[in-house]
Structures are given as structure tokens and as C-alpha cells.
Chains A and B, each alone.
Chain A
């Protein structure tokens, strides 16, 4: 059956309807993709070597950039917060201010953004190239699930490595704040760390932990999805990689806000 063309006055509604259908289909496909990956993750056979490979790829190879960015973020925080607090004569609170900023907010967010730029984009490009060179099809026709071999290990690796990298980012950042606050600006070591123990509690650490866990899922989910559905050759890979990084980064910031309002 051929649909009759819509009258000109209804054209905008037709376009809106088409766009809505496309959006709902895309979201369904996006959600279904995660469902399939979780299905592959929770049912045997479990693939240990691909998981270890992904932990190395996403986590271990991101260590340098995490240490670098964590260190300098802590140093900048130490410097700026010290000068702000000194106006009120409250320099003693530098330690807790740096630690709380990093543990609750900056650690999970900046670590996730850094890993998105380094490993997430590479993940999309790798899967995209595998798609256009038919390597994913080759796995499928071997009766081996690409979800089990490529996607599920990446998502589990994100789940494992993001909290660890966030913890490392926090520790290095607090040490960066120490270098500036204590070694450079003359605050006493006891004040810096002592006040931190008073003001930072387990709820703050858990807030950062839950954020990093959810960012781990978001980044690997978005990046594998975009890579898995690449079309149109090298240009398609480039477009998918850009989209993956942009979408992951936006979702990290949006989700961070929502979690910030929910978590204590």
C-alpha cells in the first residue's frame, strides 16, 4: 500500500512524527544493545582473556594521563582554594576543600572525561574498523557472539577500571594539593591532612565511587555502540568516533548532575 502524500499544512507534523519514530527506534536500539551486552556478560561461557585485554586497554594504558591530569588538577585546586580561603583566614580548611572537591566531583568527572578521550575514542575506532573490514561479520558467521567477545568485556572492564582510576586520580590530586599548599605555600602537613580526616566521610567516598561506576558503564556503552554500528567506510569511523566522544562527555556531565542531586 502506498501512503498518500500529506497536505502541505501537515508537512511539519509529518516531519516531527518521522523524527520521533527515528528517536524512539534509536533509543530502543541503544537500550537493546546494553541489554544484549549484559546478557552476554551474565551467561557462560565467560571470556577472561578478552576482559583482561580490555582492562589493559582501558585502564592500564590510561594510567599516565590519569596521574598527570590528577596531579595538576590537585595543584591548581590547592593554589586557587588557598588564596580564596586566605581572604577569610581559613587556610586550615585547604585539605578538606581539595579532598572533597576531588572525591565528590572532579575526580570521577575528569577521570571519566580523560578516559573517554584516550580509550573511549580508540574503542569506537577499533570496533568501527572491525565493522567496515567485516571482522565483526566474520565472528558472527563463526557462530561466535561479537557481543561476548568485543562489547561485554569492554563494559565490564569499564565497570572495574573507572573506580580504580578515579581513586588514583583522587589520591594523586590530593598529593598535588599537598605539594602546593604545604611545600610551596607553607601550610603545615598536620593541618592539611588532619582536617581532611575530620571533614571527609564515607558518604563522600561512596558518592565518588557510584559516579565512577556509572561513568564506566556510560562511556563503554556509548563508545562500543557507536563503533559497532559504523557504516560508510573511513568517514563513518571518523564520524562515529567524534559522536562517541561528544555524547559520552555530555552524558557524563548530565548524569553527574542527576547523581549529585540524588546521592548524599
Chain B
């Protein structure tokens, strides 16, 4: 389980996170929704240990991540898989080499075993024949799927998705969501997804939390969020324009 308590973060005096509290049950898909610039990506960067909070706790399987550094932090990260917004594929490597990279460098597996696992991972995301193409030679949707294969190839316990469908057409958005659901059913990892794909994201979420002005203002199953009486949540779900913008 991931447990976040009173997470606060400021940049140059501007408060981005103002006391985030959140629990992510093991094996669930928890989705964080919220307006662009509302601190979702900053929050995710705290969960994966790329940013340190000003105050608060981030507990992963009983260990406070915010107090760790160096090798101790890396030990926690070995449980992680992360799918970045733009994929973050290494552009000097082919798609296949990208997927093989964590197996080779993190697990130091023998080459035949790496080949077998890469074939399986690419097959699961529907890219069995991607071969020796470089990331720049494939479409945006394919890049996202390669990024998912890379994140999942080491069979992590926890997978973070940072806006996995940004920039994709509606058909691809649904395809990626379906893929996440299928991969989750097969591997039962704990998933944290940052997204603003409303209402599509409700179909795959077990729980949805709305992050607004640095706080989780509402959290619960998708139907609870959809029927929330909180005007901020309703305004976001309905896509009504913000009078402040």
C-alpha cells in the first residue's frame, strides 16, 4: 500500500501541494484527476522519489520514501515501473533495446532470457514485430505502448502512469486504457494513473481522487466521484469553463 500524509511542496514561494492525503490500496488502479497545472505531475514525482517534499510522509510498504536517499531509495524504486508522459524512451536505442535495457542493467539476466521476456512484453502490448525500429520511427501510440512494455518487463509491484494518453486520438485513448486494464488483470500490480481523460478514465479506475489547488478534495470509486455534490468536482467532470481562467 502507498500512504501519503500531509504532503506539502512549494517552488520559489508558490505552494503547489498544500497537504495531500491519499491511500492507494495494493493491487488497485487509483487515478488522480485534476486541472492542468494543478500539481498532479509534481505529486507523481514525489511518489517516484524524483522530488522531496517540504513536509509530509510518503509511505511505500511501510517505508517513508521522503526520508530515503541513495541506495535505500533505489531499493524502493526497484519495485516501480514508470510510464512517463512522453514515453521517455532512450532515443539512441531501438524500441526493442529500450525494453531489454532494464532487464540487462537491473536484473543482469542472460541474453536468451532477456530475448524471451522482451518478446513476451512486446507481445502483450501488441508490438511483437516492432523489431529494430527507433522511437522516432514509430507513432505516438506505439511509443506509449513501448514505454508500457519497458515499465512492465521487470514485473514491478507498483506502476505509475503520467498522463499515458496525452496527445493521442480518441480511439487510441480507449485502446491504451483497455491495454492498461488488461495488463493490470494479468499482473495485478498497484497502479497510480495521473490523467485528465474524462469520462474515459472512469472505466478502468477502481478509485478516483480529484487534486485541486494542492489538495485531494474528493476520493472514492468512479461512480461516487461522478455523482459527487462537490461543485469543483462537478465542474471538472462536466468540463465547464473556469471563471478564473
Contact = CB atoms under 8 A, between A and B. Distances in A.
Contacts of A134: 84-86, 88
A141 B49 contact: yes
Contacts of B82: 138, 141
A2 to B, nearest CB: 10
Interface residues of A, number: 11
Interface string B73-89: 01101101010111011
B102 interface: yes
B162 to A, nearest CB: 9
A133 interface: yes
A143 B50 contact: no
A144 B105 contact: yes
Contact of A141 (B48, B85, B101, B105): B48
B88 A137 contact: yes
B240 interface: no
A29 interface: no
Contacts of A188: none
A84 interface: no
A142 B50 contact: no
Which of under 10, 10 to 19, 20 to 34, or 35 or more describes the interface residues of B? 20 to 34
B99 to A, nearest CB: 12
Most buried by B among A129, A137, A141: A141
B91 interface: yes
Interface string A126-139: 00010001110110
A33 to B, nearest CB: 16
Given A134-B84, A134-B85, A140 B90 contact: no
Nearest to B77: A143
Interface string A55-87: 000000000000000000000000000000000
A140 B78 CA distance: 10
A237 to B, nearest CB: 14
B105 A142 contact: yes
Contacts of A133: 86, 88, 91
Interface in B28-74: 48-50, 74
A143 B78 contact: yes
Nearest to B108: A45
A29 B154 CA distance: 34
A133 B135 CA distance: 12
B12 interface: no
Contact of A142 (B86, B89, B91, B102): B102
B77 A138 contact: no
B95 to A, nearest CB: 14
26 contacts: A129-B91, A133-B86, A133-B88, A133-B91, A134-B84, A134-B86, A134-B88, A135-B89, A135-B90, A135-B91, A137-B84, A137-B88, A138-B82, A138-B89, A140-B49, A140-B50, A140-B77, A141-B50, A142-B77, A142-B102, A142-B105, A142-B106, A143-B74, A143-B78, A143-B106, A144-B105
Given A137-B84, A141-B80, A143-B78, 5 more contacts: A137-B88, A138-B82, A140-B49, A141-B82, A142-B77
Closest 9 A-B residue pairs measured CB to CB?
A143-B74, A134-B88, A138-B88, A143-B77, A134-B84, A141-B82, A143-B78, A141-B48, A142-B102
Interface of A: 129, 133-135, 137-138, 140-144
